[in-house]
Structure 1
């Protein structure tokens, strides 16, 4: 009354499953030649680039302001951390 799992009995649940051919046994679909694939790639790139919408002048201004504010905030944060760690190191090692 052992519950061993063999490949022939289908598993522990007792359901036998039909064997399917492995992925190596299947024939791969024939690929188009290299130049056709490259041409297809560039056609898809052009199609995707046609979907791109250029931001308006107003949106550009908004994006620039958002980026500058974020950069200034990160610079201030790193500057404060640098100052605090500098003071901490001076206090720890300057005695």
Structure 2
């Protein structure tokens, strides 16, 4: 029952008029979906150039930090496994 309420709410927010989902044909439902998508896309605000550069820098720094953490853990576990099972390190083959 909550799905019906969500559908009716979303449908009524696009043009201000509720659409009955039970009697609507496939093309009416597709048209409703397209109207809702267009309505949501009109709400999207593109970031400014400064915000975009800032977001990109944050992502790159985060990825670099995560790469560093994974590299250190990989070397530590590789060395530990090599030491436990008789090797001298992660490069010993």
TM-score, normalization: structure 2? 0.68
Within the candidate set 63, 75, 82, 1:90 is matched to 82
- Offset at 1:33? 0.6
**Deviation by residue 1:19-76 (Cα, 9 ceiling, x = unmatched):** xxxxxxxxxx732111001001000100100000000000000000000010001000
**Structure 2 unmatched runs, 5+:** 1-20, 88-93
* Equivalent residue, structure 1, for 2:73: 81
Residues 2-41 of structure 1 correspond to what in structure 2 (within 5 A)? Answer: 30-41=22-33
CA distance in 2, matches of 1:32, 1:70: 48
> How has the CA–CA distance of structure 1 residues 93 and 35 changed in structure 2, closer, same or farther, with 3 Å as cutoff?
same
* Equivalent residue, structure 1, for 2:64: 72
**Structure 1 unmatched runs, 5+:** 1-28
Aligned length in residues: 67
CA distance in 2, matches of 1:88, 1:30: 63
CA distance in 1, matches of 2:22, 2:57: 52
Greater fraction of residues in helix: 2
Note the aligned Cα RMSD (angstroms).
Answer: 1.3
